[in-house]
Structure 1
């Protein structure tokens, strides 16, 4: 659990912010779709933090299907939970399918960032190793 502390703390932040009445956030500039952008950002960060915890726990930075599947499933379940809570518990908030879609987009962006950065890291490591062996 200690490896996932940042993801857990971020999940608490998401739950608190998703549970706040919208009147409490009037100071935030609003434009059409701002809530979808916020949902996407929340779940992008959450997904990246889940990957960070998984990498620390396993001790490897290599991309893994096992890690990716677990992260996507956990993030998707958490997205469903937040929408369910907005529908049943935080009734002053609205649960929308487009919010769930935005959460999924954020999760996908986090997965893409993980795969992109690790592939870039592996390439640069190979390049550095080849350069060092030529000296």
Structure 2
């Protein structure tokens, strides 16, 4: 089992980082003049973009290729992970507020990564032909 997970070590580390960063209490940091109005959504989008890219990289490292079904499965898992974080923020980490716009930003990041991986996968298949 550990042998299979070795290809996903960066994804697991990034997942733990996302989980911590999305659930810690930041106090008044979000109200700082250094952040613009949509900064939180941009961070959510970036977190989940990189999550899917790292997961896809782990699959490619292990199998030397990735199928379209696997790409969409990773996208689904990314959105599911984002939803889990929002539910945790809503019910467990009550100092944070789980909301739909954050989940939408997570889904946008997942969608961007999924689209990018699909385009690159198609380009690599075409280049080999």
Provide TM-score, normalisation by structure 2.
0.86
1: CA distance, partners of 2:54 / 2:98: 24
Distance in 1, matches of 2:84 and 2:42, equals 19
SS of 2:27's partner is helix
Taking a change above 3 Å as real, the CA distance of residues 28 and 5 of structure 1, as seen in their structure-2 partners, is farther
The match for 1:37 is 42
Match in the other structure for 2:70: 67
> Which is worse superposed, 39-48 or 17-26?
17-26
Tell me how far apart the structure 2 counterparts of residues 70 and 21 of structure 1 sit (CA, whole Å). Answer: 31
Corresponding residue number in structure 1 for 2:55: 50
Which stretches in structure 1 are left out of the alignment for 5+ residues?
Answer: 127-135
- Distance in 2 (CA, whole Å) between partners of 1:74 and 1:8 is 13
- Count of matched residue pairs: 124
User: CA–CA distance in 2 between the matches of 1:30 and 1:89?
Assistant: 26
Give the C-alpha shift of residue 20 in structure 1. Answer: 1.3
Call closer, same or farther: CA 1:25–1:9 in 2, change over 3 Å. Answer: farther
Say if 2:49 is the partner of 1:15. Answer: no
Deviation at 1:24, TM superposition (A): 6.9
Of 39-48 and 74-83, the range deviating more from structure 2: 74-83
Query: Could you tell me how far apart the structure 1 residues matched to 2:6 and 2:28 are?
Result: 32
Residue 88 and residue 4 in structure 1: after superposition, are their counterparts in 2 closer, same or farther (change >3 A)? same
User: Is 88-97 or 21-30 further displaced after alignment?
Assistant: 21-30
Which consecutive residues of structure 2, in runs of 5 or more, have no partner in the other structure? none
Matched, 1:91 2:89: no
